[in-house]
Amino acid sequence: MKQILPQNAKISKEAKETMQECVSEYISFVTSEASEKCRKERRKTVNGDDICWALATLGFDDYAEGMRRYLHRYRELEVDNNNNNNNNNNNNQERGK
């Protein structure tokens, strides 16, 4: 909240608590929708794609698209990190021979 408001603006404790309640309710709303999708598909684990689907289904298309881009980039980085770790392990094993 501080980043979007003018520097000299003050945020009351009540306003912070109200925002926290709203954020908690929003997260619960989205995860509940994603969880219901998983239940119908007989899956036990909610994943990032389920959250993106729930966001879009609930009308938060702008957030869903941003989340999809973030998730895609995150997965690319995970693959790169895993490949780098595997290459390092293979190099270390070859040196030990």
User: Is 49 part of a structural domain of the chain?
Assistant: yes
HEC letters along 5-43 = CCCCCCCCHHHHHHHHHHHHHHHHHHHHHHHHHHHHCCC
Q: Give the span between the Cα atoms of 39 and 33, in whole angstroms.
A: 10
- Residue 42 in domain: yes
Domain presence at residue 4: no
Number of domains within the chain: 1
| CATH code of 29's domain | 1.10.20.10
Q: Which residue has the tokens 């036990």?
A: 44
Could you tell me if residue 6 is inside a domain? no
3-class SS of residue 90: helix
Is 41 part of any domain? yes
Write out residues in the chain with pLDDT < 50, as ranges: none
- Residue 91 lies inside a defined structural domain of this protein: yes
Q: Which domain holds residue 88?
A: 13-95
pLDDT attached to residue 36: 98
Q: Give the pLDDT score at 33.
A: 98
Q: Give the tokens for residue 77.
A: 């980085």
What's the rounded Cα separation, in Å, for the pair 49 and 31?
12
Helix (H, G, I), strand (E, B) or coil at 45: coil
* pLDDT value of position 38: 98
CB 46 within 8 A of CB 35: yes
Position 83 scores a pLDDT of: 84
Question: What pLDDT sits at residue 57?
Answer: 98
